[in-house]
Amino acid sequence: MQQNTTYINMAVLVKKPLIPVFKVAIQEEQRRVKETEGDYWFAYYDDIELAEDGSLYFDDYNRKWVDEEDFYEFIARYAKAKSYIIGYGETYGDYWKIEFNGKGNWQRFVTKWIKAED
């Protein structure tokens, strides 16, 4: 299990017709966290909030990022196309982007350093 302190920048929108379903799904995951006394992957993300416009946000964007694939799979079911999460890790060059395609899938992108033109 990877565990890094990561600063998160995200622009994830839940598809409008799925907002009520997503709210129920969040409550279900939060219930599982309580049942397992925090020993469940969603415990790292249970401060996630849903704004009226369907955008997701956290109480704290500087956080431990653990079992992230489970989180991406969970979010991908509800996210609009081109929604994304960008992470800035503890080490120089540890930048990544997760992009959701709006069809239940996600892709990871990492930085590639190229020489700037003079």
Tell me the per-residue pLDDT of 38-76, one tens digit each, with 9 for 90 and over: 788 888 888 899 999 999 999 888 887 877 899 999 999
The residues pairing with 56 across neighbouring beta strands, listed in sequence order, are 50
Distance CA 2, CA 91 (A): 14
Could you tell me the sign of the dihedral formed by the alpha carbons of 13, 38, 7, 105, in that order?
negative
Prediction pTM value: 0.84
| Helix H or strand E encompassing 23 | helix 19-35
Average pLDDT for residues 25-32, to the nearest whole number?
A: 92
Q: Above pLDDT 90, what percent of the chain? A: 56
DSSP state of 97: E
**According to the model, what pLDDT value does residue 1 have?**
43
For residues 82 and 99, the answer to whether their CB atoms sit within 8 Å is yes
Residue 88 lies in a domain: yes
Give the structural domain span for 38: 3-110
Number of domains within the chain = 1
Could you tell me the sign of the dihedral formed by the alpha carbons of 93, 94, 100, 105, in that order?
positive
